[in-house]
Amino acid sequence: MPTLFDPIALGAFQLPNRILMSPMTRGRADTATAVPTPMMINYYARRADAGLIITEATGISRQGLGWHGAPGLWTEAQVAGWQPITAAVHKNGGRIVAQLWHMGRASHSDFNDGAQPVAASAIAIKGHTYTPLGKKEYEVPRALETNEIAGIVADYAHAAANAKLAGFDGVEVHGANGYLLDNFLKNANNKRTDQYGGSAENRTRFLAEATAAVVNVWGADRVGVRISPLNKFNDAADSDPQALYEVVAKTLSPFNLAFLDVLETLPGHFMYTEGEPVHPAIRQHYKGPMVLNGGYLLDEGSAALASGAADAIAIGVPYLSNPDLVSRLKNGWPLAAPSDPSTWYMGGTAGYDDHAVYGK
């Protein structure tokens, strides 16, 4: 029976353990240019004991970014900013992939010279966001024209190529949490009548095309995809998530990806959504390695491996205050006090990389 501390091959990634560091937005990149800052070097390097680090979500284009302080991978300066980060992770014996992100309707015109955010359909997220000009209501997005989608697919390929130049070991396509690709998947958000709307197969088309473009750059064995069947973040919702994600699983399985990263949170997690779990159906129809994420720690992760529900586990929030998380779990050392949520996203050094390793 495998444990979290046993090695595993996920595609081309030879991992010393089955604990992945989950992607977590931290907002420490330059707010004007989306260039990674020097403070991010040590943050990632200190967490290199993870089997694999998946970076915070990283924009593929100016259009696709709408989070204050989030990094990008569409310019040469951003590539240069990532290079010392990946080098530091490798020096510490780690492996790191870039999560590629288009925020879709979760962005705002304040981030993009007044240009309206884009989405599957012209339906706004309820509530507010934070822009460079302060707290504002989400805007009604512009529905993408059919002929625009190929350009965004090309942006995924461009960012994937830049990830190579930046020294990453691979990439993960962010198809979760109500952002653009997930926005196309869910029928509460996608009211299109072209080949990207209607049936589950049509709504999965954009995700498949973006994945194919990235695979063409890296090879499938260095690409992962993240999905979130039940997550209602950014007002994402589907009337029949099991039927939808059976199609998603069947569509992605032939790619022979390094892994499929399924965010489906356990009760008690801050993003928990009630509903019958979908990951067992995904496991049935997706034939490659599968990673589960969302409130798992030692006991929950071990149980998921033992039951065959997952091949590896991605852990997020505990990594914020425990840079040496694998060592703590493996040796039975106590975890540090949870990090302060007020420091998670809003920039600055406090609460970012000021957590000690065990015994220090």
Name residues whose C-beta falls within 8 Å of residue 345's C-beta, 6 or more positions apart in sequence. Answer: 25, 26, 27, 67, 69
Q: Is the distance from CB of 224 to CB of 260 less than 8 angstroms?
A: yes
CB atoms within 10 A of CB 300: 14
Q: What is the rounded CA–CA span in Å between residue 101 and residue 64? A: 7
Q: What is the rounded CA–CA span in Å between residue 241 and residue 247? A: 10
CA distance readout (Å), 17 to 2, 20, 335: 10, 8, 19
Name residues whose C-beta falls within 8 Å of residue 161's C-beta, 6 or more positions apart in sequence. Answer: 217
For residue 286, indicate whether it is catalytic: no
Say whether 206 sits in a helix, a strand or coil. helix
Name residues whose C-beta falls within 8 Å of residue 15's C-beta, 6 or more positions apart in sequence. Answer: 7, 8, 9, 51, 52, 95, 312
43, 179, 196, 319: the catalytic one is 179
Q: Which residues are catalytic?
A: 179
